[in-house]
Structure 1
């Protein structure tokens, strides 16, 4: 059985953003991140590892972010937590009750 989630543990204010492509005038697009909502969340470190990408070491830091349930929260969105950028790679409802969502995220630039 999964550990219970309590609303009182959601004490970190974060900005939820989604990417909105903006035409660049040459047939492509640029990324423009738009604020969807400000949410309170719990952030927990899950793992940190180093991987080699294109012959250089790159750190991958992952966290689990828990928020109240939202219908519009999807993979590919991101959270801003101060200066930190947390890219959402997976979203699931751990209790399957529509109360909370847990997001597995990768911290960009770390």
Structure 2
């Protein structure tokens, strides 16, 4: 097995991890929201970008790999936040299956 090498000194981005949360909407239903779970150090690596059209509006989808120390509680459907930037987690893998790091494939949400 090839071990993945990542210098821990490259984990320089402080990210907030947010999980989905249902909030009461005041009318007996719920509205989707986000709850801060924790903060962690990570490395953000841009991967690709592409243009799209959705409902007659142009947009850009930017994908990233976000590297962090191993955690078993981060999964697809969560998101990372760095200031006003938001990264939706699409998948999470342990690149060399040693329990040292995780790599999250994320898509940056445009505002």
Q: Distance in 2 between matches of 1:69 and 1:45?
A: 20
Q: CA deviation at 1:95?
A: 1.2
Q: Distance in 1 between matches of 2:42 and 2:35?
A: 19
With normalisation by structure 1, the TM-score equals 0.90
State the match for 1:76 in structure 2. 77
With normalisation by structure 2, the TM-score equals 0.89
RMSD of equivalent CA atoms: 1.6
SS of the aligned residue for 1:8 comes to helix
Q: CA deviation at 1:31?
A: 1.9
State the match for 2:36 in structure 1. 35
Q: CA deviation at 1:27?
A: 4.9
State the match for 1:89 in structure 2. 90
Count of aligned pairs: 110
